[in-house]
Amino acid sequence: MTRRAVIAGIGHYLPERIVENAEFEATLDTTDEWIRSRSGIERRHFAAEGETTSNMATKAAQNALADAGLSADDIDAIVVATSTADLTFPSAATMVQAQLGMTRGFAFDVQAVCAGFVYALSNANALVASGQANRVLVIGAETFSKIMDWTDRSTCVLFGDGAGALVLEAQDGTGQSDDRGILATDLNSDGRYKDLLYVDGGVSTQNTGHLRMQGNQVFRHAVEKLASTAHTSLERAELSADDVDWIVPHQANIRIIQGTAKKMGLPMEKVVVTVQDHGNTSAASIPLALSVGKSRGQIKPGDLIVTEAIGGGLAWGSVVLRW
């Protein structure tokens, strides 16, 4: 018998305000055509004034709990993946805990930028597998609109806000690759690449800062590292690309998504794509895509899914799971 972390429910939340590419044409030297053709992005959501990461995370968590038929009292731990927490401390996760009315268990944040949800899922899986928790809320939530330099056309058109959440639940499996739940994970980072993607401020530098990115350099690393980590996870699960029903990638750029699928030898029909509607929501992008993919009827029980992401650090990784 193997203790598996199985997905018991999923949900998401997107802020009300939708910004189409054309809106940027009024303030920047850019076009809808450039943004669409270079990134695949058509629109994104931006949080309202006063709407925070923990507010959005809580709404996504409530939707995931409702989908699972559970209440906050059934949860042992909350892990929030974010780089844009409401405050320097306490964690966004403890704020979500309070907003859910949960007075037991424990909560903490994971910060691995766009790879954050893969890191959070891997850590939550370890909590379940080791018996430290039976049910864990794993949330990705971001308000990247708060760290944009609105004069920098090469970054501010690419990002959006949102949140996605899932409930992981301990269930007994056989230890074989046909079990439901998380089957394998792979995490990597290489801090030598810090300058490719970072925010130029923080607590110890006394300002919040803005996102800075050498987009074409990040692009160069992305396809190769994403295909490689997906391959490693599949190998650990004793599976191959032929077994995959859905790739649910980090939604940064349609060309990276297409390049990774091609390198893995899989057609785009097997990829859940939401980048056109959400932009890059960093750690929120994978749970958002999983939730939308399920509600579209793409993801079904028993499907084998590979999620993969890369972001600031560089940090990257993947998770293989059976829905």
Out of 312, 318, 319, 323, name the contact with ligand ACO by CB under 6 A. 312
CA-CA distances (angstroms) from residue 178 to 109, 249, 322?
31, 22, 8
Annotated active-site residue 63? The verdict is no
3 is a contact residue toward ligand ACO (CB under 6 A): no
Annotated active-site residue 114? The verdict is yes
221 is a contact residue toward ligand ACO (CB under 6 A): no
**Identified catalytic residue from 21, 45, 114, 231:** 114
212 is a contact residue toward ligand ACO (CB under 6 A): no
For ligand ACO, the closer CB: 68 or 257:
257
Amino acid 154 reads S
157 is a contact residue toward ligand ACO (CB under 6 A): yes
193 is a contact residue toward ligand ACO (CB under 6 A): no
**Identified catalytic residue from 12, 210, 231, 250:** 250
114 is a contact residue toward ligand ACO (CB under 6 A): yes
222 is a contact residue toward ligand ACO (CB under 6 A): yes
To ligand ACO, the closest distance from the beta carbon of 35 in angstroms equals 6
153 is a contact residue toward ligand ACO (CB under 6 A): yes
For ligand ACO, the closer CB: 34 or 108:
34
Out of 108, 219, 245, 270, name the contact with ligand ACO by CB under 6 A. 219
Residues 245 to 304: which contact ligand ACO by CB under 6 A?
252-253, 256, 280, 282
Site string for ligand ACO, 45-84 (x = CB under 6 A): ----------------------------------------
180 is a contact residue toward ligand ACO (CB under 6 A): no
Q: Mapped to the 3 state alphabet, what secondary structure does the chain carry?
A: CEEEEEEEEEEEECCCEEEEHHHHHHCCCCCHHHHHHHHCCCEEEECCCCCCHHHHHHHHHHHHHHHHCCCHHHCCEEEEECCCCCCCCCCHHHHHHHHCCCCCCEEEEECCHHHHHHHHHHHHHHHHHCCCCCEEEEEEEEEHHHHCCCCCCCCCCCECEEEEEEEEEEEEECCCCCCCEEEEEEEEECHHHHHHEEECCEHHHCECCCEEECHHHHHHHHHHHHHHHHHHHHHHCCCCHHHCCEEEECCCCHHHHHHHHHHCCCCHHHECCCHHHHCECHHHHHHHHHHHHHHCCCCCCCCEEEEEEEECCCEEEEEEEEC
Buried b (16+ CB within 10 A) or exposed e, 191-206: eebeebbbbeeeeeee
39 is a contact residue toward ligand ACO (CB under 6 A): yes
154 is a contact residue toward ligand ACO (CB under 6 A): yes
Annotated active-site residue 156? The verdict is no
Residue with tokens 């379940």: 128
Q: Of the candidates 250, 290, 246, 252, which has an alpha carbon nearest to the alpha carbon of residue 268?
A: 246
Out of 34, 106, 108, 193, name the contact with ligand ACO by CB under 6 A. 34
For ligand ACO, the closer CB: 11 or 160:
160
41 is a contact residue toward ligand ACO (CB under 6 A): no
Residues annotated as part of the active site: 114, 250, 280
| Residues engaged in binding ligand ACO (CB under 6 A) | 30, 34-35, 38-39, 113-114, 153-154, 157, 197, 215-216, 218-219, 222, 252-253, 256, 280, 282, 311-312
